[in-house]
Amino acid sequence: MAVLPDYGNKIWNTNFFLKLIAILLYIIFLFYAISAQSDIFSIAIATITLLVILLLFFPFKIETNRSFMIFLLLILLIGTLLRLWLAYAYFGNFDMNSYSTVSEIVLSGQNVYNTTPYYNYSPIWFNLLGSLRIISDSLPISFHFAVRGFLTIIDIFTLILLLIIGISEGLTKNGLIRLSLLFYLNPISYLITGYHGQFENLALFFIVLGLFFFFKMKNGNTIFKYLSWLSFSAGLIVKHNTLIMAITGITNIFKKGRYIAFFFFITVVLFLLSFIYYWIGGSQGIISHVFMYGGISGIYGVTSFIKFPALKYIFVAGLLVYPLIIQNRDIVDQLLLGSLFFLTFTTGIGIQYFVLPVVFGALRPSNWFLLYTFITSIVIIGAVENLDLFGFSFFSFNAVWICALFWFIFTHFKIVGFFNFSSLIKT
């Protein structure tokens, strides 16, 4: 049973009423989509998402071990089928075209960084794309299904790690079920993995793996310290928008300033070394399309109203400094705050960035997280980069930013009040 601070019946009733208003708003959007005779598969996904949101807003309680296992397996089954259904029914967006091109470049033996400007990441992902192309060509499955099927497997492993961490934190069976719902049945997660196919979830898997080893460190085994560091480093190497999370992990592992600086330096060196094989002939592409890439600016957050070229470098400096400011907080809180700091102050955006706080929000659930999930789900469903469903384009990307901004402020300053939406970590 959830353990909630006593804010009084008036506050509880108000929160309940606000959730009903949100559900009604979603139903209106869904009605517009149906009336416009939109794609039937997209309407089905939007309808299922409504049922998922209802479940997240008003979670059930379990009483026995048997019911716990049944509900956990149902969450796993439904979440997996949703991702695979999206992977099968939709080709995806422009990123999938890029992935297809990149996989062909890899198999032809060319240097990706010297051949296409549409690849902005380390070599790890394009080598995986090459392997997935071989698999899809060998089996009767499409390439886009192979990519998102692989990412679905990654989500499953992340869920397993989150459940182990939840158990170590003393979550009850109800708490573990809620954790599973908030991560694996989170619409942000299954829409990005199943439709978009972006691979933030692969980087996040390594961050969560680093967190898992961090908790194992407490048993006094030194090997887990270095496994944790390597896992956080791998997260950064896979996708460098996890920089603030890698720094947070390293800060917590090594504590003392000189050790933090040394191991972060080694992490950066490992990141740079991942490009060494492709540097000759691809250096200009690596510098221009990877190191200088910062997402799309002008449509989200601070760059919507501030046009200042140096802002990008101030933001990067903030990513380096902020983890040092919050060292006195619990590591999961730090990782959550880091992901929210990124979303609040980033000078460039991609719709896939919205998944970054989901794993940590699942470990530190609150109604701020529910509000973020609700608004972001609507934005993703209505976005041209995803389902592009008519009727769901009411909110702009900045609706997500405003929600992330307030979630960050209330969490950083530990503000308790009318809309504080208490933590449910011991549910």
299 is written with which tokens?
A: 């449509």
Tell whether the model's pLDDT for residue 384 goes beyond 90: yes
- The residues spanned by each domain of the chain are 68-368
Tell whether the model's pLDDT for residue 166 goes beyond 80: yes
Rounded mean pLDDT, 247-256:
96
Tell me the helix, strand and coil percentages in the chain, rounded to 5: 70, 0, 25
| Residues 6+ away with beta carbon under 8 Å from 128 | 150
From residue 351, how far is each of 2, 227, 272, 331 by CA, in Å? 32, 31, 26, 26
Rounded Cα distance, 31 and 355, in Å? 26
Tell whether the model's pLDDT for residue 328 goes beyond 90: yes
CB 301 within 8 A of CB 344: yes
Full DSSP string of 402-424: HHHHHHHHHHHTT--STT-----
Backbone angles phi, psi at 349, to 5 degrees: -135, 150
Backbone angles phi, psi at 139, to 5 degrees: -120, 160
pLDDT band (50, 70, 90) for residue 419: low
Element (H, E) at 183: helix 173-184
pLDDT cut 70: percent of the chain above it: 94
Rounded mean pLDDT, 334-357:
97
What is the pLDDT at residue 13? 67
What is the pLDDT at residue 427? 44
Average pLDDT, the chain: 93
Q: Per-residue pLDDT tens for 195-212?
A: 999 999 999 999 999 999
pLDDT band (50, 70, 90) for residue 379: very high
CA atoms within 13 A on the CB side of 135: 14
Rounded Cα distance, 386 and 397, in Å? 13
pTM: 0.94
Rounded mean pLDDT, 19-27:
95
105 is written with which tokens?
A: 């470049």
379 is written with which tokens?
A: 């934005």
Rounded Cα distance, 419 and 213, in Å? 34
Rounded Cα distance, 340 and 217, in Å? 26
